[in-house]
């Protein structure tokens, strides 16, 4: 029983510390948004990967970085309307 409690408390600590790990109430849309934003940040942070995208798209590195930052605003479209629970 103690192991189960410590694992649960460790999971809660990770979820409160890192946004991308989610929690029990995380929707599919929120999880996908976190995944897309993490991916875009990783692409911008790795210089060689950014160079690869720039060559593949025949764009400048600054334009590729700008496009990735634009995609980070709403990577999965507008949020889904939640049904009202009464």
Residue 17 lies in a domain: no
| Structural domain boundaries, residue 62 | 27-72
Domain assignment of residue 61, yes or no: yes
**Tokens at residue 85, please?**
């629970």
pTM exceeds cut of 0.75 = no
**What is the total count of domains within the chain?**
1
- 16 lies in some domain: no
Going residue by residue through the chain, which has 86 residues, state the pLDDT in tens, using 9 for 90 and above: 566 667 778 777 777 777 667 777 788 888 888 899 999 999 999 999 999 999 999 999 999 999 999 999 988 888 877 776 65
Give the pLDDT score at 84. Answer: 65
Q: Is residue 3 part of a domain?
A: no
32 occurs within a structural domain: yes
Does residue 79 belong to any structural domain of this protein?
A: no
The region, left, alpha or beta by phi > 0 then psi within -120 to 50, assigned to residue 70 is alpha
Residue 60: partners with Cβ closer than 8 Å, 6 or more residues away: 54
């Amino acid at each position: 029983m103690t192991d189960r409690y410590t694992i649960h408390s460790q999971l809660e600590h990770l979820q409160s510390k890192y946004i991308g790990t989610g929690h029990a109430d995380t929707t599919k849309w929120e999880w996908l948004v976190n995944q897309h934003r993490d991916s875009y940040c990783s692409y911008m942070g790795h210089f060689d990967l950014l160079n690869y995208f720039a060559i593949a798209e025949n764009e400048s590195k600054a334009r590729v970085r700008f496009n990735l930052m634009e995609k980070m605003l709403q990577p999965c479209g507008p949020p889904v309307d939640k049904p009202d629970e009464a």
